[in-house]
A and B are shown apart, each in its own frame.
Chain A
């Protein structure tokens, strides 16, 4: 793991106007993530997990403060620059999978490579490789509507990982999955993190996810309440260890 911060938030504030009131979603958040981390933002609904994830992913910008992602200040990026940052360096995994319904599994996974302008032969090789990682090469020609929830999320992981991004942001990736599928998905992501060195940041309140994390950041009312590095022993103590 490198020592240099991949992501850094400095006094990050995000305020949403709500009619006459304001909702403070993030309140002076200071965090740093290094490359190769397998970290999670945890906390109850409305604690600011998704907002922070969106800002890190340059899908949103802070009201005040700064978010530096891979050396780029998110608040200073134009829409086009932010799109390029996401295209080249960031993969997203969503709670509802967000697969493109008219495309096959293969075409869904191929999509980020098309945007990157990867050549046909190279595209094919990488798509099949990504599908093998998530053990779905047999379903390459299926449409998303023909897949189970677990399979859909595995396709989403393949789509996120196929371009070998530096960072993958996963927003409640197991919320629509049963326990067995959740563990399968998490094992795949843990393996990818280990083998490819991809940084994973989750937003979750699912205990099943939390037991896989090596770093747990607890958010409460938009503030960082706790930031813990979890050792295997700690994880075992907290979650009973055998649940995996």
Chain B
């Protein structure tokens, strides 16, 4: 095998431009795969981090009736805080959020909204709740996100009517003043939502000391079973986002599969041509006593070595390039907001060792297979035919 490796390497280097063209195309595939997968891994990690920072903290307890995908459950999804959770809140290791349904009347229109109450002094989430301290005596301070502001046309200082039902089912309405418009990548705390001070919302809805969910602080290690409440770990809460990123990854996978297919096609072509052009050489090798199996090994290895050289070439120009991307990030177009999950204005790709190693192994395996397939012809080749330049 050592001899075959030595010969394969000599042949490959000796083939000059033909080798380097294949190597460069293959190295593009390497980089494209690693880059695109890195972007999605970065996207996934960034989205997860943003959600943890702004919404999920270190996990949540949900009222047993609460289902975020079904607003009709909100009517019953609230209850008094159980003692263990109340204790965590007092220790500032968790915070309560109350959620009810309502209708907003911005500029003569009406818009169904989710009203959320949050403690303006909370330190659990990276959430600009402190602005909720800025309200006047007559109007209730309210906070909305940029997407909500865009869709309602509301600006800071605007006063708008908010209608809601209290715990008894009676309709009531109040004017709220927009005290801040927060810019956030997390759509699920923005679109269709109005944030009020928790104490105010509790009092308006007649739900004193009640909450819909409790968000734990990031360092809070607490997951005890509490009757009437269910613990939701971060794995559970982030499940959707990972699924979503995975589904987005399919698109990029198709893109890089096409790229790798092109590179492999070039390699396959090279191999077929190589066997055709070098049949006399194959005959000479046979005459010198090289067995067919060894010659097949030689040609397969020559093909497979393309991917090894490609990995080295990719390392030379690709790693610095990927490094720059990882440091400077990749600016996201505005339209990317419609992706449905938290993406910052710049994505910072993450290239894990597993991704790089996995890609290298995958490309090498496929390259070896593609290199081997055309060499099967050699097995049927007669030495005398090969020496005459014929191929059976």
Contact = CB atoms under 8 A, between A and B. Distances in A.
Contacts of A86: 286-289
Given A79-B292, A94-B387, A100-B281, A59 B286 contact: yes
B183 interface: no
A204 to B, nearest CB: 17
B254 interface: no
Contacts of A32: none
A204 B89 CA distance: 103
Given A94-B387, A103-B10, A114 B3 contact: yes
Given A83-B286, A115-B3, A98 B14 contact: no
B280 interface: yes
A83 B15 contact: no
Interface in B263-316: 280-281, 283-284, 286-293
A188 to B, nearest CB: 20
B6 interface: yes
A90 B13 CA distance: 29
Given A59-B286, A59-B383, A94-B387, A79 B291 contact: yes
A96 B291 CA distance: 22
Interface in B1-22: 3, 6-7, 10-11, 13-15
Nearest to B293: A80
B174 interface: no
Interface residues of A, number: 28
A96 B281 CA distance: 11
B290 A115 contact: yes
Contacts of B284: 92, 94, 98, 100
Contacts of B15: 102
A101 B282 CA distance: 12
B384 interface: yes
B382 interface: yes
Given A111-B288, A114-B6, A114-B7, A98 B383 contact: no
Contacts of B14: 101-103
A59 B287 contact: yes
Nearest to A87: B289
Contacts of B382: 60
Given A83-B286, A115-B289, A115-B290, A60 B10 contact: no
A86 B384 CA distance: 14
Contact of B291 (A83, A111, A159): A83
A107 interface: yes
A83 B11 contact: no
Contact of B384 (A59, A88, A98): A59
Q: Which of A86, A88, A90: most chain B Cβ within 10 A?
A: A86
A88 B387 CA distance: 20
B306 to A, nearest CB: 15
Nearest to B389: A96
A98 B280 contact: yes
Contacts of A117: 3
A84 interface: yes
Interface string B220-241: 0000000000000000000000
Contacts of B10: 102-103, 107
A9 B292 CA distance: 26
Contact of A112 (B11, B288, B291): B288
A26 to B, nearest CB: 13
A57 interface: yes
Given A114-B6, A114-B7, A80 B291 contact: yes
Interface string A96-137: 101011110001000110110100000000000000000000
A115 B288 contact: yes
A17 B280 CA distance: 23
A90 B290 CA distance: 12
Nearest to A102: B14
A30 interface: no
A84 B214 CA distance: 79
Contacts of A100: 281, 284
A186 B120 CA distance: 103
A60 B283 CA distance: 12
A115 B297 CA distance: 14
Nearest to A107: B10
A59 B288 contact: no
A54 interface: yes
27 contacts: A54-B383, A59-B384, A60-B382, A60-B383, A60-B384, A83-B286, A83-B289, A86-B286, A86-B288, A86-B289, A87-B288, A87-B289, A88-B289, A94-B284, A96-B280, A98-B280, A98-B283, A100-B281, A100-B284, A101-B281, A107-B10, A111-B7, A111-B288, A114-B6, A114-B7, A115-B290, A159-B288
Interface of A: 54, 57, 59-60, 79-80, 83-88, 90, 92, 94, 96, 98, 100-103, 107, 111-112, 114-115, 117, 159
Kindly list the 3 A-B residue pairs having the minimum CB-CB distance in the complex, ordered from nearest.
A87-B289, A102-B14, A86-B289
Given A90-B289, A96-B280, A159-B288, 6 more contacts: A60-B384, A80-B291, A94-B387, A98-B280, A98-B287, A103-B10
